[in-house]
Structures are given as structure tokens and as C-alpha cells.
Structure 1
Amino acid sequence: MESQGLDMKVTALVSDNIGTLAGGRYVDSDVVAVVILSAGTNAAYVEHANAIPKWNGLLPRSGNMVINLEWGNFKTERLPRSEYDNALDFESLKPGYGLLLHTLIR
């Protein structure tokens, strides 16, 4: 930013799904989940903090937390993969990464 002469200060960096969820909740507080479908896919949702088994810190004042699923690299034997899935993965820019997306677009 400095090299471009931009007088800016970065105060936050967020992923597209977190930014979309924040923007949606800014407009309508009833928004509780988003799904991003673009070059990749991901989702985020609002969860009651006391319902998160992994959480062991102080609870936020709102009582809620945003869960970023990062589901694009979800792997499971319960979601069968075809020869096409394996070929697509092999030919992708990042083999072994984004396997859920490869399975969804077949």
C-alpha cells in the first residue's frame, strides 16, 4: 500500500465467507449462515459459544461465535470418489487439496 501511495491502515483481514457473514448480519441480524460458491467453496455460521466442545476460553459478550467451516478440503470415506474425481484431483493445480469441491462439481 505504501509503494502505491495509499494512505491506509489495515485493521482486519477476513476470508470471503466471514466477510459475507459479517455484511449480512450488519444488514439483517437474523442472518446466521453463508455459503460461498466461487473458485472454491466454503461456509460459515453463527453458533452459541457454549455449544462448542473445543472452546475452553472466555465466552464472548454476545455468547456467540462464528464458525468458519473451511469445508473445501473436507475428506471422508463416506463420500465416495469416482475415477473422474481422482482424475480431476490429479490434474488440478493442488492435488489432494479441495477434494470436496472436486466431488461437488462432477
Structure 2
Amino acid sequence: MMPTNKVFAAYEKLLAHSTRMLAFARKEEWSRLAEEESAYAVEVEALKGLGTPEEYDKNSLRRKAGLLERILEQDAETRRHLEKHRTEIGDLMDDSRRRRDLSRAYQTAGIDGASGRQGLQ
């Protein structure tokens, strides 16, 4: 069993990481977001290692619930930004595949892709 103050300090650290992750997602700073996610994961493991407090009073329960609610809200928004980014990357990859396939089709048909004319064979 662990004192409540250490558990709350750990939740506050998670909230700080979550806040930075959301800021990076909003700015589309994906590499910095990934770094912050790694630090967040380390803090989650540290929190797990603390164990559970012997008991929470009503104020402590409200405080914990408030911290968790803010973390979860920020996580949801961060995920929405990531999903949008993933969709954009998928669209770019699909476009690249279509261009590649079209280029291959023209090459197979002996058509110069730049001019659209049949090449000499």
C-alpha cells in the first residue's frame, strides 16, 4: 500500500505528459509526440509500481476522478488528431500507388508517360 500523495504526484505527471502530447498533436509535431508518448508510458509503469493507496477519502476520490477525466479527454483528442494524420498518410500512399501503377501501365504499353505518345519499338 502506498501513500496517496505519491499516487497523486504520479497522476499529475501523467496529466502533464498528456497535455504536452495534445499540444504536439495539435501542432502536428509527430516525432515530438512519439517521444512524449514514450515518457508517458514510463510514467504509467511507474504508477503501476506504486501500488494502491490504503484508502481514498471522498475528496481524494474526486481529485483522482478529475485527473483521470482530464487525461482521458486529452487522450481522446490526441487520438482524433492521430487518426486524421493516419488518414492523410493513407491517402498519400494510395495516390503514390496509383501513380506507380499508371506509370507501369504506360511503360508496359510502350507509351511515353510524359508526352502520351507511343514510343518507337
Question: TM-score scaled to structure 2, two decimals?
Answer: 0.21
| Structure with higher strand content | 1
| Structure with higher helix content | 2
Question: TM-score scaled to structure 1, two decimals?
Answer: 0.23
